[in-house]
Structure 1
Amino acid sequence: MASTATKAAGTKSILTPSNTLKGHGNWIASISYFPDGQRMISGSDDKTTREWDVKTGKEIEEARDVREGSVYAVGVSKNGRWIATGGDRAELKVCEVETGIVKKFKGHTNVITCIDISADNMWLASASFDETARIWNLDTGKLVAGPFKGEDPMGAVRFSPNSNKLAVKSNWGRRLEVWDVQSQKLDVKVGAPVTPT
C-alpha cells in the first residue's frame, strides 16, 4: 500500500488560478477578503494597499491607499465595516468603509507585522517587532488591553472565537503564547525565545 506522501507526490494539483491580480510594484505581505467574497485587499512593500474586484481581477483604483512606508498587515472586519492596516511606520490605520473616516492608532514603537479583528467586530489586535501585542477599540481608537510583552519580535496574532484569548506567535516561529484578554495574564507559553546569532 502506498504511503500518503507517495500518493500526494503522484497526484496532480487540482487548483488552478481563476484570476491573477496584477498591479503591485513589490512583494505582497498580506491579503484579506471582504465578507461578500467579491473583493479583497492587499498590502505591499510598494507602500500601497489596494482593493480588488475578485471576479474581474481588476483593482478598484479609487480605493487605493498610498502610505509613507511598507504595508505588512491588512484586515477586514467580518461585517465589512472596518479595514485595518499596519506596517513599518509603527502606526495602525483604520478606515470606516461607509464613511471613509480614517483613524490612526499609535503606541507601537517598531514595525507592525500582523493584525486580527475580533469576531464581534469591536476590537483590533496588533503585534509588532517591539515585542508587544495590543488590543484596540475600533470605534474609539483607545487601547483596550496590553501591551502584552513577549520575548521576541512578534509574527502572528489571533483572537479566539469568543475573543477571550489572544494567541501570539514569535516572528521566527519558535514561541507561541496565549494571553487571557480580561486578566491580561499569560495562560500558556510554548517554545523558547530566539537567541540572536
Structure 2
Amino acid sequence: MASISTKGVTKESILTPSTTLKGHGDWIRSIYYFPDGQRMISGSQDKTTRRWSLKAGKETEETRDLCEEVWAVAVSWDSRWIVTGGGNQDSAELKVCKVETGFMKKLQGHSNTITCVDVSMDNTLLASGSWDWTARIWNLETGKCVAGPFESIHLVGAIRFSTDSKKLAVRSESGKCLEVWDVQSQKLDVRKGEDGDERFRSAPIF
C-alpha cells in the first residue's frame, strides 16, 4: 500500500508595511508607542527624537529634542511624560519632557551612555540603565534619584519594572546575565549568569 504524506504545505508569509516613516538620518535605536496606539516616538543616532502620527503617516509638528546619540525612548502609561536617554562614553544624557507644556528637565547622575529606560505602571517612577554599569530610579515629578545606583556586573542593556514597581530587572548588554533588585531595600534578590569582563569598564565596544 502506498504511503500517504501527511506533511502540510507551508506558504511563505510576506508582511507588507502599511506605513513607512521617513526622516531620521542615522540608525534608529529605540521606538515606543503612545498608549493610544495612534502615535509613536523614535530615537536615533542622528541626535534627535521624533514624534509621529501613525494615522497621518508622518512626523508631527512638535519640536524635536536635540541631544547626543539617542539610545532609549519611552512614554508614560498616562501619556504625560516622554523620556529620552543617550549620550556617549564621556557623558550621559537623560531627559524628561512633560507633554502638555513641553517643559523639559535633565536628570543628572549617570556617567556614560544611557541605553535603556522604563516607566512604572503608576507613572511615578523612571528607571534608567547605563554603560556606567549601574541602574537608577528617579521620581518623574521631581526629577530626583530615589533609589540606586544598583551596581551591575556589566554594562546595562535592558531594564524593566515589575507591575507593582517593587522589583527591577536588569539585563547585561551582552544578554549573558540577568539580575533582579528589590527597589525598597536596594538589595540584589537574584543573579543568573555571569558577565564581568573588566575590559569594558573604560571603553565599551559595540
Q: Which amino acid aligns with 1:12?
A: E
Shift of 1:32: 0.6
Query: Match for residue 152 of structure 2?
Result: 150
- Structure 1's unaligned 5+ residue stretches are none
Query: Match for residue 203 of structure 2?
Result: none
User: Whole-Å Cα distance in 2 between the matches of residues 17 and 98 of structure 1?
Assistant: 31
Query: Match for residue 130 of structure 1?
Result: 132
User: Whole-Å Cα distance in 2 between the matches of residues 13 and 179 of structure 1?
Assistant: 41
SS where residue 100 of structure 1 aligns? coil
User: Whole-Å Cα distance in 1 between the matches of residues 103 and 172 of structure 2?
Assistant: 32
> TM-score, normalized by length of structure 2?
0.88
Q: Which amino acid aligns with 1:95?
A: C
Shift of 1:26: 0.3
Instruction: Give 1 or 2 for the bigger CA radius of gyration.
Output: 2
User: Whole-Å Cα distance in 1 between the matches of residues 195 and 153 of structure 2?
Assistant: 6
Shift of 1:137: 0.1
User: Whole-Å Cα distance in 2 between the matches of residues 85 and 11 of structure 1?
Assistant: 41
Q: 1:107 aligns with which of 69, 85, 109?
A: 109
Shift of 1:11: 3.7
Query: Match for residue 16 of structure 2?
Result: 16
Query: Match for residue 74 of structure 1?
Result: 73
Q: 1:187 aligns with which of 186, 189, 196?
A: 189
Shift of 1:14: 5.3
SS where residue 90 of structure 1 aligns? strand
User: Whole-Å Cα distance in 1 between the matches of residues 159 and 12 of structure 2?
Assistant: 34
Output the aligned Cα RMSD.
Answer: 1.6
Query: Match for residue 39 of structure 1?
Result: 39
Q: Which amino acid aligns with 2:28?
A: I
Which shifted more, 73-82 or 88-97? 88-97
Query: Match for residue 64 of structure 2?
Result: 64
Q: How many residues matched?
A: 191
Q: Which amino acid aligns with 1:35?
A: P
Query: Match for residue 28 of structure 1?
Result: 28
Query: Match for residue 83 of structure 1?
Result: 82
Report if aligned partners of 1:174, 1:194 keep a CA contact under 8 Å in 2.
Answer: no
> TM-score, normalized by length of structure 1?
0.92
SS where residue 156 of structure 1 aligns? strand
Q: Are positions 1:98 and 2:100 aligned together?
A: yes
User: Whole-Å Cα distance in 2 between the matches of residues 11 and 93 of structure 1?
Assistant: 46
User: Whole-Å Cα distance in 2 between the matches of residues 106 and 15 of structure 1?
Assistant: 42
User: Whole-Å Cα distance in 2 between the matches of residues 55 and 40 of structure 1?
Assistant: 10
Report if aligned partners of 1:30, 1:74 keep a CA contact under 8 Å in 2.
Answer: yes
- Structure 2's unaligned 5+ residue stretches are 1-5, 201-206
User: Whole-Å Cα distance in 1 between the matches of residues 61 and 42 of structure 2?
Assistant: 13
Q: Which amino acid aligns with 1:175?
A: C
